[in-house]
Amino acid sequence: MSEIIVIGHRNPDTDAICSAIGYAEFKRRTGARDVVAARCGDTNERIDFVLRTFGVPAPRFIADVSPKVSDVMQSNVISVPPRMSVVEALAVMDQKNIRVLPVLDSERRCRGLMSVFKASKFFFPSPNRIYDSRRILASVRSLSRVLGAKMICAFNPDQEEDLTLMVGAMKPVSFAARLNNYAPEKLVVVVGDREDIQKLAIEGRVRTVVVTGGLDISEDIRNLARRNEVTLLLTPHDSATTAMLCRSAIAVEHLLREDFLTFGPDESLAGISRVAAESQFQAFPVVDEDQRVVGILSKSDFLKKVDRQLILVDHNELTQAVLGADQVEIIEVIDHHRIGAFSTPQPILFRNEPVGSTSTIVADCFFRYGIEMPPSIAGLLLAGLVSDTLNLTSPTTTQRDVEILTELEKRAKVDAAEFTEKLFSSGSVLVTKPVDQAITADCKEYMEGGYRFSVAQIEEIGFDNFHKRQAEIQRSLEAYRTNNGYLFSALLVTDVVLQTSLLLVSGPRKFVDNMPHTEVSPGIFEMPGGVSRKKQLLPFLTHHLARVAPMLNGGD
């Protein structure tokens, strides 16, 4: 199935969620098919408040967009039950033109794969095991079904037995002498319309007599078979064909390859490709967590193109994108941040504008092309805009944001100032989440000058919640930096009412000690008027990194 996924960055904020939903709606209304809004991180209290306010469900959660087994596997699994005869299973393989046939039980769990190799050894035994060429391992009912035979009389037809094939193509005296060499209850005698041979076999109380050629069986023979409790079958096939088919009545469960290899539907194709390529198997059952078969994956399926495309909103760096973004086609980017390291094999629509929010750009798409905007979408885009610009008070705000917000207020019938107050009062991540989650709720990874680092932001009304958990926050920030191998991790705690921030930095002493801002306590700095991660904090940090980089080479 083809699909276009509109998705924001990891640890999504309000603007990322709202712009993803809004742009997916725009694409659908301008003719694009199979467009879905998605997210690659959890929502928070404020995002949930926005979604509830405007009656819109959260975007679909997608943790990884890389091609998966489920993207290319064959969902319509052709299989057979364990008790089906081999000849019937081979007929299925021939009719469906398949080389691998899974054998599934009643709960769709795989018992094994039908092994053509094992079947060939059974039907064509080695010279030192020539007796095996006469072995029949089957029930009378299965034998009858394979032979297309009519059961004249049958005894214990469903009991599987290990029997021996004998063809009655000899004089009665020779046949009688030969019968004495075998246990009669283990014999299946194949004979034509030679009533003398039929009678000898029945009187000898063999297990089954198969009369070939569809030839009539006398009433005397029928009655004799019933009296001696000998199963009597009538098949339309000739004796040679009957003898061959008798052996193929064996159930497939006896000829299974039980050391098969399975994969899960959510496994990455890239992750399993080498294992699959080096395997001797040509196909692999795909099983769910309960080991039930949900698909079949063949080696040729790895050549299929996964028709999944991405539209990135509110970011343009793969370090911030959903996992697997580098393995699928990115067709558009809608963003308002700096342009990071990013390349595509062909031209794409890349709309990057110096405005206060991605929601501003998405709203402009509707307005510019005269596309009808539902009130709920207008409300979401308004929420994304005021969240990112702190209701037009952030230094990232532009005149275009002001104009767009005015129009969104009309269409959503929402007062931006009143909504902003409710939005920022709707939930503090420092209250609603554990500290280790709070410091990464709105966190982005960057690469600059060969160094990886993270920058997060928490927006609060006042600093009371921060001061209550200050020590815990600093410990978690250091643990997060260490666990991810970052040079440093920065956290901007912003008071949206007073329009000022505190900056927490965890990193090497030479980086932290040379910070130009006032240090109010170890690792915590004042940033008066600093409210924008994009326009104020990130440029400051990259400039500071370039300045102290020569000192960092000497270690901490």
The tens digit of pLDDT for each residue in 309-342 reads 999 999 999 999 999 999 999 999 999 998 986 7
State phi, psi for 233 to the nearest 5 degrees.
Answer: -115, 145
Residue 305's pLDDT is: 85
Q: Please report, in angstroms and rounded to a whole number, the separation of the first and last CA atoms in the chain.
A: 52
Which tens digits make up the pLDDT trace of 82-119?
999 988 888 898 898 888 899 999 999 999 998 777 77
In the three-class reduction of DSSP (H, G, I as helix; E, B as strand; rest coil), residue 431 is classed as helix
Residue 495 per-residue DSSP state? E
Q: How many CA atoms are closer than 13 Å to the CA of 254, on its beta-carbon side?
A: 21
pLDDT (mean) for 161-175: 92
The residues, ordered by sequence, that sit 6+ positions from 137 with a Cβ below 8 Å of its Cβ are 160, 161, 162, 163, 250, 251, 254
What's the sign of the alpha-carbon dihedral 418, 440, 313, 3? negative
Q: How does pLDDT run across 73-82, given as a tens digit for each residue?
A: 999 999 999 9
Task: Provide the phi-psi class of 229: left if phi over 0, else alpha when psi is between -120 and 50, else beta.
Answer: left
pLDDT digits (tens, 9 = 90+) for 467-511: 999 999 999 999 999 999 999 999 999 988 788 999 999 999 999
Other beta carbons within 10 angstroms of residue 279's beta carbon come to 14
The residue extents of the domains of the chain are: 3-67+307-424, 429-552
Neighbour count for residue 537 (Cβ, 10 Å): 21
3-state SS of 160-204 is: CEEEEEEECCCCHHHHHHHHCCCCHHHEEEEECCCHHHHHHHHHC
Range 265-285 average pLDDT:
91
Q: Which residues contact 212 (CB under 8 A, 6 or more apart)?
A: 190, 191, 192, 235, 237, 238, 239, 242
Tell me the sheet residues that pair with 452.
Answer: 447
User: What is the tens place of the pLDDT at every residue in 220-238?
Assistant: 999 999 999 999 999 999 9
Does residue 128 surpass a pLDDT of 60? no
Residue 286 β-bridge partners: 263, 295
Q: What is the pLDDT of residue 534?
A: 84
- How far is Cα 214 from Cα 355, in angstroms, rounded to an integer? 88
Q: How confident is the model at residue 11 (pLDDT cuts 50, 70, 90)?
A: confident
**CB-CB neighbours of 399 under 10 Å:** 8
Q: How many residues does the chain have?
A: 556
Number of H helices, E strands in the chain: 21, 23
pLDDT at 125: 62
What sign has the CA pseudo-torsion 423, 426, 431, 433? negative
Residues 38, 168: Cα–Cα separation, whole Å? 73
pLDDT of residue 483: 96
Query: CB–CB of 52/379 below 8 Å?
Result: no
Return d(Cα 444, Cα 44) in angstroms, integer: 16
| Predicted confidence (pLDDT) per residue in 34-48, tens digit | 999 999 999 988 999
Task: Find, among 360, 321, 364, 366, the residue nearest to 341 by Cα.
Answer: 321
Torsion of CA 44, 47, 51, 54, to 10 degrees: 150
Regarding beta strands 443-448 and 283-287, do their DSSP bridges make them parallel or antiparallel, or are they unpaired?
unpaired
Sheet holding 102-104, edge to edge: 102-104, 110-114, 256-257
pLDDT of 130 strictly over 50: no
Classify 283 in phi/psi space as left (phi over 0), alpha (psi -120 to 50) or beta. Answer: beta
In CATH, what number does 429-552 get? Answer: 3.10.310.20
Domain spanning 3-67+307-424: which CATH class is it, in words? Answer: alpha beta
